[in-house]
Every structure is written in C-alpha cells, then in structure tokens.
Structure 1
C-alpha cells in the first residue's frame, strides 16, 4: 500500500470530505486531465481512475466525469465503477446516465478512449463485486452505512476491442 493511503482512507470516510470532495476533486481532475492531454489524473495517485463520458439521461448532452475505478484482473478493458457519491444521499448523476445509455459510454483510460458497455450489477454478482470493492477501498463501507440507498455498482467492458 502506498504511503499515506491509510490516512487518505480515513479522511475520505469523514462527512466533511463528503461535503467538500464532490466540488473539488472532479474539477481538479478534469483540469489536470485536459492540460496533460489525458495522461494524468490526480486522484489516480491513490486509486486507479478513468474519465467517463456518457450522454445525459435527460438532456442527451455529453457528460464527462472523472471517477475512481477498480480495474478487473485478467483483462485490460474491464472496470468496476462504484456509485458511492462520497457517501451522500442521492445516486450520482452518472449512474442514471449509464443506465439510460449503457452502450453510449466511452472511458478514457491512461490516455486512450475505449467505447464500453455498462452493466448494472445485481444480486449475487453484485454481492461478490461489493466484497471485492470493500477490500479494494474500505471507505466504501462507511459510505454505504451513511446512506439508505444501495450503492450502485457497474461493470464496464470494452466493446469488441474498439479503442482509439
């Protein structure tokens, strides 16, 4: 585990972080990602991260969101996204966008755009992935305990080897 990760996990579990982070972390990530032409994502220094672009569920306008992700072992084009919303009460908007257009999403992963198919995980499959997510980033348990909704989990897989 990288130095400082436990401290970051502890801080990220606080309610203060949940209030501030959604307004600061994505803005910094978008700016640095744009300035480095997709090569750097600041938050990825602690957790792997990608940039999700998907049309808005209502507007149809492209929405770009930097997100932590859990790359799946054994494939270079499969990721788990956790709709934790930093432990805030509502589902993050990007989750509704993925549900409305599961084949209209693209992720930017390490500077490459990858068209993906998104699957909302449910039942036993969700439970298995949730256990893995808790091992990957323990603060997710704090986020879930703080909210009444079930945190949405998605598996994103590259569509038929399409990359750019």
Structure 2
C-alpha cells in the first residue's frame, strides 16, 4: 500500500494507479483510438497516445500520457504514477528520443523528446500546477525530481 505523508493529499495505492492506466490503454486499443484521449485545455491536462521504441527490445510500445501544449510543443512529466524511479517510457525515449504522438481527434505528430532545460522547467511546471492543485505535494512524495519532458515537432 502507498505510504501516506502526514497532511498530504490522498493517493490511491500503486496497483490502483497501474490498473487505471492499463484500462485506459485497453480502451484506446479496443476502440481503435476513438476513446480514451482528451484534448488539453488551459485549465485541464489532456491525454495523448505516444509510441516509443523499446530501448532493449527495439519493439514499439504505446503509452497513454497526460500532456499540455506549449506553442508547437507538447509536454508531459515522467511521474511514474508518483512512484519512485523513472517510467519505462521515459527511459526508452532517452535511448531513442524519436516518437509518434496521436492526439484527440486523430491528429498525428512525429516528435523528438528531451528533458526540459533548466530555464524552461520552472515555467512549464508552473503551467502544469494550474491544472493540478496538488502537483507539488504529489511530487514531494518522490525522493527524485520529476522530469518535465518536452516533445518537439520533428522536421518532415
């Protein structure tokens, strides 16, 4: 069961978070991409499908991630369900930063991933904080910093 820090917001056990994301991916797969994706709004993050290449297997892996837009870029956080460590999809992107994104409505983008530079990290974190009131408290549960990932459009 997830440990609770006194005074922090409630966080479901890790198995609940993992199960919810597995159901989300299954809904996306079964519906052929028609369900499970939501457009980001100024006050609410959206969900997108990201296809990455496995760093060891070389196989394509599809993940559903929360995102926000920043001009032509998309950005997300390597939060691993607020568990410890980096999520596998981020480790895969570090090994091969090229990915394919599907946004709500079926828009496709070829992107290149990178960690946010120090000069943009705080700005993007603040924008995300506007959509998630407990962001700092959840991030504070981790012993490692939560990386902000920028997905930049790849040249055609």
> Partner of 1:126 in structure 2?
121
Relative to 1, partners in 2 of residues 1:15 and 1:43: Cα closer, same or farther, differing over 3 Å?
farther
Give 2:60's match in structure 1, choosing from 59, 62, 69: 62
Q: In the comparison of the two structures, how many residue pairs are matched?
A: 144
TM-score (ref. length: structure 2): 0.80
1:154 matches 2:152: no
Q: For residues 123 and 107 of structure 2, what CA distance do their matches in structure 1 show?
A: 29
Structure 1 length as normaliser, TM-score? 0.77
Q: How well do the aligned residues superpose, as a CA RMSD in angstroms?
A: 2.2
Shift of residue 157, structure 1, vs aligned partner = 2.0
Matched position secondary structure for 2:24: helix
Q: Is the 8 A contact 2:67 2:76 kept in 1?
A: yes
Q: Distance in 2 between matches of 1:18 and 1:70?
A: 24
The list of structure 1 runs, each at least 4 consecutive aligned residues, that deviate by more than 3 angstroms after superposition, is 42-47
SS of 2:108's partner is: strand
Residue in structure 1 matching 2:16, options 2, 20, 26? 20
Q: Alignment partner of 1:82: what SS? A: strand
Matches within 5 A, 1:28-107: 28-41=23-36, 47-72=45-70, 74-75=71-72, 78-103=73-98, 105-107=99-101
Higher helix share: 1
